[in-house]
Amino acid sequence: MSGFSSTAASIGWGFDRTEELLERLQQAPGEEARRAVAPTSDGPAPSRWTLRGIRATFPWLKDYTLSGVWRLLHRHGLHIRAAQVRQHSPDPDYLAKLEHLLSCLRDAAAHPDDVVLVFLDEMGYYRWPKEGRTWAAAAPTPAPLADRDGPNNKQWRVIGALNALTGRVDYLDAYIIGRAKVVVFYRQLAAAYPNARQIYVVQDNWSIHRHEEVQAALATVPQIEPVWLPTYAPWLNPIEKLWRWLREQALTLHRLAGDWDMLRERVNAFLNQFAEESHTLLQYVGLTGEGKLAQALNDS
């Protein structure tokens, strides 16, 4: 998806005309663009602007070639750009849940000796490698292969928790992460922080997390307090970025499809790097710097 922006007023084109162009490009292409680019006469309008669609939409461009349209747009500060995704959670209590999360972060930062905050999540990975880009000889030599060796694409799962202040990672891996394993992991966290009077566990709204059996078990671990994220708000859970790093470093184009035990050892070795603490990990996931979560930690 792409869009256009302007950095300067038009020179010799007319400021009003430039403004008209900018305003129109903020909207979806219409009938003129449809007639110019639709494969058939009854095809729908395109979803984004192209040079042909722009030329057809503005009458003063009708005599330009496509390369002429491109040069004119660039000359007047208009460029094709990658669009950004507008992050949005449908949760009506988004702001209240965000403020609660930030207050828990401030509490942990203000009382590091006896208050802990961890971000919890689950991920799964498969025997067969993720495809990806890597350095290799140019064509016509064969392209790198994501080798699909082994009888089936077996899956394994991990539940993990990232300490917001230290970068420490605790985890548990198993074939299935269900109610029983979630309860085991909560108790593992309590044992990992024996001196903590409060362990905030920030987590999403997966049904297992809220299951009555899990909640009953949590009542027996009073130092753990669940902190619920807004619905569909993964950008507020930095451990998601740890999973991305794991996939990039250990699972993309791996050569262990035929050695399941060794693949699991590789994944665990990656996570074991953060068994104590890691400022590098905190930087990678955005818990240092100028972000909203990092600022909450710095405010205390």
- Regarding whether 231 and 272 lie in a shared domain, the answer is yes
Final residue before a domain boundary, out of 51, 82, 113: 82
Going residue by residue through the chain (300 aa), what tens digit of pLDDT does each one get?
A: 344 444 433 344 566 778 888 889 889 999 999 999 999 989 999 999 999 999 999 999 999 999 999 998 888 788 888 877 777 899 999 999 999 999 999 999 999 999 999 999 999 999 998 888 888 888 888 877 788 877 788 999 999 999 999 999 999 999 999 999 999 999 999 999 999 999 999 999 999 999 999 999 999 999 999 999 999 999 999 999 999 999 999 999 899 988 999 999 999 999 999 999 999 999 999 999 999 999 999 987
- Regarding whether 261 and 125 lie in a shared domain, the answer is yes
Final residue before a domain boundary, out of 82, 108, 123: 82
pLDDT tens-digit readout, 11-40? 445 667 788 888 898 899 999 999 999 999
Final residue before a domain boundary, out of 82, 113, 136: 82
Residues paired with 118 in a beta bridge? 163, 201
- Regarding whether 194 and 158 lie in a shared domain, the answer is yes
In the chain, the number of structural domains is 2
Q: Is residue 88 part of a domain?
A: no
| CA–CA distance, 241 with 56 (Å, rounded to integer) | 43
What is the residue range of 24's domain?
A: 2-82
- Regarding whether 266 and 199 lie in a shared domain, the answer is yes
pTM of the complete model: 0.78
Distance of CA 211 to the CA centre of its chain: 26
- Regarding whether 160 and 251 lie in a shared domain, the answer is yes
pLDDT given for residue 13 in this prediction: 56
User: Considering only CA atoms, which of 191, 186, 185, 232 is closest in space to residue 88?
Assistant: 232
Q: How many alpha carbons fall within 13 Å on the CB side of residue 241?
A: 15
pLDDT tens-digit readout, 108-145? 999 999 999 999 999 999 999 888 888 888 888 887 77
DSSP state for residue 234 in the 8-state scheme: G
Distance of CA 68 to the CA centre of its chain: 39
Q: Is residue 75 part of a domain?
A: yes
Q: Is residue 89 part of a domain?
A: no
DSSP state for residue 249 in the 8-state scheme: I
